[in-house]
Chain A
Amino acid sequence: MAKGEARVAEKLAVAEQRVVEQRLQREKVARDRAALGGLWSRRDVFGRFGWGVFAAFSGISLLAAVRSAFPRILFTPPTAFKAGPVSDFTVGEVNTKFQKDQRVWIVREDEGVYALFAKCTHLGCTPRWLTAENKFKCPCHGSGFYKTGINFEGPAPRPLERLRITKAEDGQLVIDKGVKYLFEKGEWDKPGAYLKV
């Protein structure tokens, strides 16, 4: 195995030599730096300036690339719709006029009005409003919700979601399905979840 041993010795010698060379190089750099007395050399100035510009340019380009991944115009139906004036809604009633087209119920109370998203929080079926029993009932698995949207029976894990409701300048109600208010996060107290009339 003389050949193998020789090869190992050669490798060790190379490694040792490399350590020495690296140490010498580091010492040389340190000497040069000390000779400048804390000042930047011309090469330092241009080097740092150049790399700084390069980094800034790359960073801005990256941001631009990320931004360009979000189109300005989306060809999807608008999330908000107008539901007519408040006077269209009878106090104490659940209005199911927009259930088919917009999947929204509008509930009018004495003090105000709110919009519920007509999607069961269990598996996403559309519940029915049962006037006689004064509750929302899901036909799929029997989840039940009070008129407020709070769940009280069946497998639904959380209350129905409320949608943003505001009044437009022409007096009509505007309901934005893009903004949801979740009871369990305490969001029903936020302005927009309930419109005082």
Chain B
Amino acid sequence: MSKWEELKQQIVDSPVWQSIFRHGYDDTPRNRVLMVSGNVFLHLHPSKVRRHATRLRFTWCMGGITFLMFLVTTVTGVYLMFYYRPTAEYAYADMKYLEFDMPFGMLMRNMHRWAAHGMVIAVWLHMFRVFLTGSYKPPREFNWVVGVLLLVLTLLLSFTGYLLPWDQLSIWAVTVGSNMGRATPVLGHEGPGHELIPGLNNVYDARAFLFGGGEIGPHTLLRFYILHCIFIPLVTSIFLAVHFWRIRRDGFSGPAL
């Protein structure tokens, strides 16, 4: 036994290593199952996946790509947060600064942007594939509903992120996009049934709840920032866990080979 192998054996036999990696690397069916079921992240997955369920021609891997895009936006988003201040005075200047003056800032900002676009595209294609293969049918109908919620959350993530550069495009795009809020049934001051709640007006209705006022202002920037960086990612993560967990419980769809 060489010196290196001896050292390696010592490390692998040490209590620290043994407490983290409990099952070794033996490539046996039993060990593989133990590796998956004993890992807090992997245990959401089935410990065994049949070959047909991972066939690319069937899955398009669109769910996986969506998740990858989510991870990319999360990591690059944390990087961007270090340089971005969500106040009306600084937001636009910080956006310019992190893009043009920070080392690798342009790369990070563009990765965040393109991963966000990619996530929206991939999530639609994932939905399309699930629809085409009939994978939404019982017993997977619950997971379809969770998936629709995740689609909405993905769009909301994009929408809230759109405001953050704080330039004319983002302000007016969000102004137009949130006009829907005014027409919310009952809760919007211009929506059907708004008479049912007395006192609804431009600054007390569904859109003002989102904006913190009658129009886009500093309140809105901060709110969208917090929704974009904390609230929606948190909710999305929870639903992602449920989504993956349901796949395991309901079993993978797909034709047997």
Which residues in A have some Cβ–Cβ distance to B below 8 Å? 66, 69-71, 74-76, 178
How distant is the Cα of A178 from the Cα of B203 in the complex, in angstroms? 10
Q: Which B residues lie within 8 Å of A69 (CB)?
A: 209, 212
Pair A76/B201 contact, Cβ less than 8 Å: no
Lowest 7 CB-CB distances: which A-B pairs, in order?
A74-B213, A69-B209, A71-B212, A70-B204, A70-B208, A74-B203, A71-B219
Query: Beyond the given A74-B217, A75-B217, A76-B217, could you list 11 further A-B residue pairs with CB under 8 A, ordered by the A residue number?
Result: A66-B209, A69-B209, A69-B212, A70-B208, A70-B212, A71-B219, A74-B203, A74-B213, A74-B214, A76-B215, A178-B201
B217 pairs with A70, CB closer than 8 A: no
**Chain B residues within 8 Å of A178, by CB:** 201-202
Cβ contacts under 8 Å, B203 to chain A: 70, 74
**In whole angstroms, what is the CA distance A180 to B105 when docked?**
47
Q: Which residues does chain B contribute within 8 Å of A70, judged by CB atoms? A: 203-204, 208-209, 212
The complex places the Cα of A69 from the Cα of B187 at a distance, in Å, of 14
Give the interface SS of chain A, mostly helix, strand, loop or mixed: loop
Shortest C-beta distance, B201 to chain A (Å), equals: 7
- Give the A-B pair count, Cβ closer than 8 A: 23
Q: How far is the CA of A74 from the CA of B215 in the complex (A)?
A: 10
Q: List residues of chain B with CB within 8 A of the CB of A76.
A: 213-215, 217
- Write 23 A-B pairs (CB below 8 A) sorted by A numbering: A66-B209, A69-B209, A69-B212, A70-B203, A70-B204, A70-B208, A70-B209, A70-B212, A71-B212, A71-B213, A71-B219, A74-B203, A74-B213, A74-B214, A74-B217, A75-B217, A75-B218, A76-B213, A76-B214, A76-B215, A76-B217, A178-B201, A178-B202
The distance from the CB of A194 to the nearest CB of chain B, in whole angstroms, is 21
Q: How far is the CA of A70 from the CA of B202 in the complex (A)?
A: 11
Q: Measured between C-beta atoms, what is the minimum distance from A103 to chain B in Å?
A: 15
Chain A residues, Cβ within 8 Å of B208: 70
For residue A74, which residues in chain B have a CB less than 8 angstroms away from its CB? Answer: 203, 213-214, 217
Q: How distant is the Cα of A22 from the Cα of B32 in the complex, in angstroms?
A: 38
Q: How far is the CA of A44 from the CA of B207 in the complex (A)?
A: 43
Question: How far, in whole Å, are A66 and B208 apart by their CA atoms in the complex?
Answer: 11
Q: When chains A and B are docked, how far (Å) is the Cα of A75 from the Cα of B203? A: 12
Q: In the complex, which residue of chain A has the Cβ closest to the Cβ of B215?
A: A76
Interface residues of B in 186-226 (CB under 8 A from A): 201-204, 208-209, 212-215, 217-219
Q: Which residues of A contact B212 (CB under 8 A)?
A: 69-71
Q: A151 to B204: give the CA distance in the assembly, Å.
A: 31
Assembled-state Cα–Cα distance A70/B208 (Å): 7
Nearest CB in chain A to that of B223: its residue: A69
